[in-house]
Amino acid sequence: MAYLKTANSNILAICSCVPKHIEKTADYTHITPEERELFTKTTGIKERRVADADVTCSDLCYTAANHLLKKYNCAEEIDIVIFVSQSPDYYLPATSILLQNRLGLKKDCIAFDINLGCSGYVYGLSVISNLLQSGQLKKGLLLVGDKSTTSTNFTDKSAYPLFGDAGTATLLEHSTTKNDWHFNLQSDGSGKNAIIMEHGHSRNPFDKTLEDVVEIEPGISRAKKHLALNGMDIFNFALKEAALNISTLFEKSNLSKENTDYFVLHQANKLINESVRKKLKVEPEKTPYSIDMFGNTSSASIPLTLCYKLEEALLTKRLTLLLSGFGVGYSWGSVILETENVYTKLIEYDRA
Amino acid sequence: MISIEEFTKGLEVEFEDVEPGTLTPETNYKNIKGWSSMHALIIIAYVDSTCNIILSGADLKSAQTIRDLYNIVIEKIK
């Protein structure tokens, strides 16, 4: 395992931005009403937010970040911006650099991308807190999210109704008064085929056949360019690894589950998350959900859940949080951290 | 160790959309009304929570009846 501690970092604020357009599971006509009902019961997903064709993940993250920069009037103080996503604006250059310019940040600003999905928020926190802990960098922006809805095909019932779009911004600062953050980060590339977009990049370059939709099995038709998801493999991976990763982190850090206020899990699928929760013997009220209203929003799901469900607690209390992301890669990781008086905001994307 | 009767009954409860009393150990579970991949996930979660065993996709593919599933679980427990 990769257990590490970081010191001297503090989360000031989190903003999540979602598109206005809603797609309801009940309206997903590719499957029968009975299948829709079972899908909602199993995954928890009632509706998802879907971005317009010309809106990118970076647009959502920009809107979220801009809200925080205006509120804290700190654009000139940002020393580092990290964009964690698997839906960048371009193959190159890195989207974080475009956002540095678009957000009006100074040129003396570190900017780079991290290509991770479900585990991305936790990994992003580990990287940015490492870079903030020495005090040479004072403030940072962690921009995390995905536009997953264009990666899936409408006639692929295994993937299309699962994903929603969201972009988030977390404003962090160097602070010498805060407790250490404890991470347990893991990877297993043998699971690459569980969730994969296999074509259109270096290994399998673009060709005309990428657009051709073919039937994989009844109810599942997609083109090579689309995301392919093996639900059973990813489900088994999460059952095997997620709770174990979290339990190991509590052991290594000498912190206790009982003193943890909330367990905020990546919003993968309610059945998975409930299984993880029960394995950890955590009370339902300590594990908030956003999947019912936003679907699986990839790396954005943890900060989105914080904004959607814990706004008041984060603002008014000192909290110990366990955050855990697990999925595509396989990549997974957890962090235990403390927060105090964190401002959060959930906003809808406004083109203007 | 869980009995085949308890295993079948528990699965029926988890499925929810199955009429009570309709599942037996000899039921081909893939033939239940409205069978979908979601049922497979429900089976995996149920077996994990009750027996601490994780069934693979291959396990589910090879089993036809609930008794087949049960036998795979018992074999893994050993």
Chain A, window 227-256: residues with a beta carbon less than 8 angstroms from a chain B beta carbon: 230-233, 235-236, 239-240
- Whole-angstrom distance, CA of residue A332 vs CA of residue A319: 23
Residue A106, pLDDT > 80, answer yes
A312: region left, alpha or beta (phi > 0 left; psi from -120 to 50 alpha): alpha
Q: How far is CA B69 from the centre of its chain?
A: 6
Which residues is A236 bridged to in the sheet? none
pLDDT at A1: 59
> Which of residues A223 and A181 earns the better pLDDT score?
A181
Residues 6+ apart with CB under 8 A from A97: A111, A112
**Tokens 């905020």, located at residue:** A264
Residue A343 to residues A12, A67, A237, A284: CA-CA distances in angstroms? 7, 12, 34, 24
Residue A335, pLDDT > 90, answer yes
Confidence of residue B34 (pLDDT cuts 50, 70, 90): confident
Q: HSE of A309 in the Cβ direction (CA atoms, 13 Å)?
A: 21
pLDDT 10s digits, A229-258? 988 899 999 999 999 999 999 999 999 999
CATH number of the domain at B23, please. Answer: 1.10.1200.10
Q: How many CB atoms lie within 10 A of CB A296?
A: 28
Tell if the CB–CB gap between A275 and B56 is shorter than 8 Å. Answer: no
Confidence of residue B29 (pLDDT cuts 50, 70, 90): confident
CA distance B46 to chain A (A): 9
Torsion of CA A260, A264, A265, A271, to 10 degrees: 90
Chain B contacts to A (CB-CB under 8 A):
16-17, 34, 36-42, 44-45, 48-49, 54-57, 60
Chain A CB contacts of B39 below 8 Å: 38
Nearest Cα neighbor of A146 from A172, A124, A128, A179 is: A124
Chain A CB contacts of B45 below 8 Å: 235, 239, 271-272, 274-275
pLDDT at A94: 98
pLDDT at A163: 96
A275-301 mean pLDDT? 97
pLDDT at A304: 98
- Whole-angstrom distance, CA of residue A38 vs CA of residue A43: 8
Token pair recorded at residue A230: 């093996």
- Whole-angstrom distance, CA of residue A160 vs CA of residue A180: 39
Residue A340, pLDDT > 90, answer yes
CB distance A302 to A268 below 8 Å: no
Confidence of residue A218 (pLDDT cuts 50, 70, 90): confident
Nearest Cα neighbor of A213 from A155, A160, A163 is: A155
- Whole-angstrom distance, CA of residue B27 vs CA of residue A350: 53
Residue A351, pLDDT > 80, answer no
Token pair recorded at residue A86: 């698997």
B23-30 mean pLDDT? 91
Q: Which helix (H) or strand (E) holds A249?
A: helix A231-253
Find the residue in A nearest to B61 (Cα): A232
Mean pLDDT of chain B: 90
Residues 6+ apart with CB under 8 A from A295: A45, A47, A48, A49, A161, A162, A163, A164, A267
**Tokens 């008014």, located at residue:** A316
Q: How many percent of chain A have pLDDT more than 70? A: 99
Q: How many CB atoms lie within 10 A of CB B22?
A: 11
Find the residue in B nearest to A34 (Cα): B34
End-to-end CA distance of chain B: 11
Q: Which helix (H) or strand (E) holds A173?
A: strand A166-174
pLDDT 10s digits, A142-199? 999 999 999 999 999 989 999 999 999 999 999 998 789 999 999 999 999 999 999 9
Mean pLDDT of chain A: 95
Q: Name the domain count of chain B.
A: 1
**Tokens 């029968």, located at residue:** A32
Tell if the CB–CB gap between B34 and A230 is shorter than 8 Å. Answer: no
A279-294 mean pLDDT? 97
| Residue among B34, B45, B54 whose CB faces A38 most closely | B34
pLDDT at A352: 60
Q: HSE of A48 in the Cβ direction (CA atoms, 13 Å)?
A: 27
Lowest mean pLDDT among A81-85, A91-95, A99-103, A205-209: A205-209
| Domain ranges, residue B69 | 4-77
Torsion of CA A209, A211, A217, A219, to 10 degrees: -170
pLDDT at B35: 85
End-to-end CA distance of chain A: 46
Tell if the CB–CB gap between A240 and B54 is shorter than 8 Å. Answer: yes
Tell if the CB–CB gap between B44 and A236 is shorter than 8 Å. Answer: yes
CB distance A262 to A319 below 8 Å: yes
CB distance A120 to A84 below 8 Å: yes
pLDDT 10s digits, A321-331? 999 999 999 99
Class of the CATH-defined domain A1-352: alpha beta
pLDDT at A185: 98
**Residue type at position A212:** D
- Whole-angstrom distance, CA of residue A89 vs CA of residue A79: 22
pLDDT at A289: 98
Lowest mean pLDDT among A8-22, A107-121, A288-302, B10-24: B10-24
Residue A208, pLDDT > 80, answer yes
Residue A89, pLDDT > 70, answer yes
B19 DSSP assignment:
P
